Amino acid sequence: MNYSDLGSTDPLANARIGGLMVCVTGQHSCERLLELGSRVRLPGQKMYCVHCVQTGRNFLNNLYEPLAIEFLFSCSSLFDAELTILRANNVIDALVEFAQTNRVSKIVLGPSPVKDESSFSAKLSARLPDVEFFVAE
């Protein structure tokens, strides 16, 4: 990656930076994750706030989906991030596809309760070896 193009007003130069994806799972952690994303974000880098929920489940573990989505939208707006909500049978497949489609070069996510190769972050990073990962503690 050529960092001499950072901050350029040329959209093609900024596209070479790649996007930054912040994966959020819960309403209460999204602001903390977006804040970390804003700290590791490069000038001109587009930030995506992405929540993916398995088909048939409630968004953000909240029965009041409209309120949860509005909260997530508000947090995303505060950090100038584009909100994307996905539904998929396989969450990891959906996030990998989103990252590839949007040329994501950095991903921010929360800590996994499991700390080995079976963890969510380990599975995701194995599928996206060229992406830099940041885990909020």
Which residue carries 């996030």 as its tokens? 95
Question: For 80-118, what is each residue's pLDDT tens digit?
Answer: 999 998 989 999 999 999 999 999 999 999 988 878 888
Residue 132 in 3-state DSSP? Answer: strand
The burial class, CB within 10 Å (0-12 / 13-18 / 19+), for 43 is exposed
127 to 3, 36, 103: CA distances (angstroms): 25, 22, 14
Strand order of the β-sheet with 132-135 is 81-88, 47-54, 19-23, 104-109, 132-135
**Residue 1 located in a structural domain:** no
**Residue 44 located in a structural domain:** yes
**Residue 105 located in a structural domain:** yes
This prediction has a pTM of: 0.81
**Residue 4 located in a structural domain:** no
Q: Which range marks the domain in which residue 116 is found?
A: 12-135
Number of domains in the chain: 1
Question: For 33-55, what is each residue's pLDDT tens digit?
Answer: 999 999 999 999 999 999 988 87
